[in-house]
Amino acid sequence: MKPKLKLLTRFVFLTWLIIFLVASGAAGFQMTFTPGISVSEEYTDNLFLSESNEEHDFITIISPGFTFEAIERNSGLSLSYNPAYSIYSRFSEYNTWRHSADLSLWTDIARSTRLEITDSFTRTEDPLDEDDLFESTGEILPGVDDSSRESRDVYYRNSAGINITHQFGASDSISFGYTYSILENDDPEVEDNESHNPSLDLTYWIIPNKWGIETNFGYTRGEYDASGEIEPSDDFDDWRASIRLIRRFTQHFESFVEYAHTVMDYKGEEEDYNVYDSSAGMNYIFAEDAQLSLSVGYFIQDREVSASERRVSVNGDLGKTWSFRHASINVTGASGYEESNLGADNLGFDVFYHAQCTADYELSRRVQADFSCSYRVDDYINDDDDRKDKTTRVSLGLNYQPLEWMNIGFDYSFNSVNSNLDEEEYDENRFLLRVTLSPSQPFHLN
């Protein structure tokens, strides 16, 4: 383990241990503990997510774990830890431990002020996150840049954050947050990075329920570190600010105009730029579980030397769930732009389009089925190779609960990347059979 990550891991572990002991001894906390263990057998026909090197393998995964919660009236703590050992049938040199841990702590430090602390740690050799593959959340997520990994070398992620929110009116609030994240890779061809991200958000209704403003300010400092085999990317300072004027007509309908500005300052030869983005749109809740957010705008990416990029943007988020007696269907969609600078690849400015559909069906009281499909286009308009990826994912799942404390699941996923760069393309079929043992109710510790 690298010294910086080793020190951080020790710090996070000690922090969790202290909080755990404090919470365990605090009067008034309702504490629960839920243990569990799962054994999985996974098959993939493209182990390295490669177009030309398609190797298959069976992977056995043994994963014990637990969730601990301590909650009282004004505070709460949730801690989960799930280690796993992965055993490869053909490529045993990749046998390794995986670790996944999450901490969430909140407390009301005053009547209208809440402090939240979070930390998430992952150690894995799997280039694709299993949660993204098999869990149907119905949520539009950022692009998965790990698709560029073509090895099973271990990598680590840790993201720690703190946020303070103060409510000073019925719908008025101000919050300050800070997040520190790292990515470290055993693969010498993938560079490490760390980022610092403070942010400030303000929501204020000038005339309650009629006219309001939302403002956001954020700053990201990105720093890179590479081995001697590759040249590190340029560090950068990314400044972002936006302001939105809202006109609310009814409880379910409002319109807005917005302006957002981005300043990207690279600390090297990479080309700096500004983004000027103006838009107008609306939010409409047309049913209890259905809403539509839609905005149309025009943005200019003003680059320091190269020609500017000018595009009309249609940014939307549609969320609708159709519920039936034994089934539900959810459809979501989004588009916009983001920075792809802190993953396995550093590809810069990304214009994306994403659509997703999820569904589940209760075949019987103990058997459930689920389905998910998504399609995403990522256009990296500043990349030297003009890279453009089209990612398709389809997953099917079947879960059977023969006993209250036992669950048997079968999942299949198809993952495909179609790119204008041949070396970035791949197709993968993945099958997973999992048996999970866990009590139906948590143990109460007090």
Q: pLDDT for 393-418, tens place per residue?
A: 999 999 999 999 999 999 999 999 99
The residues near 131 (Cβ < 8 Å, ≥ 6 apart) are none
**Average pLDDT rounded to a whole number, residues 145-166:** 84
Number of domains in the chain: 1
- For residues 425 and 417, the answer to whether their CB atoms sit within 8 Å is yes
Structure tokens at 245: 């004027």
pLDDT of residue 92: 96
Tell me which of 213 and 52 has the higher pLDDT. Answer: 213
How far apart (Å, rounded) are the C-alpha atoms in residues 386 and 184? 27
Residue 134 has pLDDT above 50, yes or no: no
DSSP-derived secondary structure letter, 65: E
Residue 86 has pLDDT above 50, yes or no: yes
**Average pLDDT rounded to a whole number, residues 286-300:** 83
- For residues 130 and 40, the answer to whether their CB atoms sit within 8 Å is no
**Average pLDDT rounded to a whole number, residues 99-126:** 92
At 226, which CATH number? 2.40.170
- DSSP assignment of 96-163 equals EEEEEEEEEEEEEEETTEEEEEEEEEEEES-SS-HHHHH----------GGGG--S---EEEEEEEEE
Kindly indicate the confidence band of residue 128, based on its pLDDT and cuts at 50, 70 and 90.
Answer: confident
Instruction: Give the chain's mean pLDDT.
Output: 87
pLDDT of residue 58: 98
pLDDT of residue 143: 39
From the CB of residue 115, how many other CB atoms can be counted at a distance below 10 Å? 15
**Average pLDDT rounded to a whole number, residues 45-64:** 94
Tell me which of 226 and 70 has the higher pLDDT. Answer: 70
Q: Of 358, 353, 407, nearest to 135 (Cα)? A: 358
**Average pLDDT rounded to a whole number, residues 334-345:** 83
Kindly indicate the confidence band of residue 193, based on its pLDDT and cuts at 50, 70 and 90.
Answer: very high
Cα 226 to chain centroid distance, Å, stands at 24
Residue 141 has pLDDT above 70, yes or no: no
- For residues 170 and 204, the answer to whether their CB atoms sit within 8 Å is no
The domain containing residue 202 runs over which residues? 3-444
**Average pLDDT rounded to a whole number, residues 430-437:** 97
How far apart (Å, rounded) are the C-alpha atoms in residues 417 and 277? 29
How far apart (Å, rounded) are the C-alpha atoms in residues 19 and 117? 11
Query: How would you label 16-50 residue by residue, b for 16+ Cβ within 10 Å and e otherwise?
Result: beebbeebeeeeebebbebebebebebbbebbbbb
pLDDT digits (tens, 9 = 90+) for 363-398: 999 999 999 999 999 999 888 888 999 999 999 999
pLDDT digits (tens, 9 = 90+) for 251-278: 899 999 999 999 999 998 899 999 999 9
**Average pLDDT rounded to a whole number, residues 112-127:** 93
With a pLDDT cut of 90, the percent of the chain lying above it is 60
The residues near 150 (Cβ < 8 Å, ≥ 6 apart) are 48, 49, 50, 53, 127
pLDDT of residue 47: 94
Structure tokens at 384: 């030297």
- Where is mean pLDDT largest: 268-272, 305-309, 334-338, 395-399? 395-399
pLDDT digits (tens, 9 = 90+) for 230-248: 788 899 999 999 999 999 9
pLDDT of residue 345: 82
Q: Of 392, 394, 384, 393, nearest to 421 (Cα)? A: 384
Tell me which of 6 and 41 has the higher pLDDT. Answer: 41
**Average pLDDT rounded to a whole number, residues 330-337:** 79
How far apart (Å, rounded) are the C-alpha atoms in residues 436 and 399? 11
Task: Determine the 3-state secondary structure of 420 from DSSP.
Answer: coil
Residue type (1 letter), 227: S
Cα angle: 328, vertex 332, 334; to 5 degrees:
175
Distances (CA, A) of 168 to 111, 290, 428: 10, 29, 51
pLDDT of residue 414: 96
- For residues 394 and 425, the answer to whether their CB atoms sit within 8 Å is no
pLDDT digits (tens, 9 = 90+) for 218-230: 999 999 987 666 7
Between the two ends of the chain, the Cα-to-Cα distance in Å is: 38
pTM (2 d.p.): 0.87
Segment among 3-12, 51-60, 197-206, 347-356 with least mean pLDDT: 3-12
- For residues 68 and 31, the answer to whether their CB atoms sit within 8 Å is yes
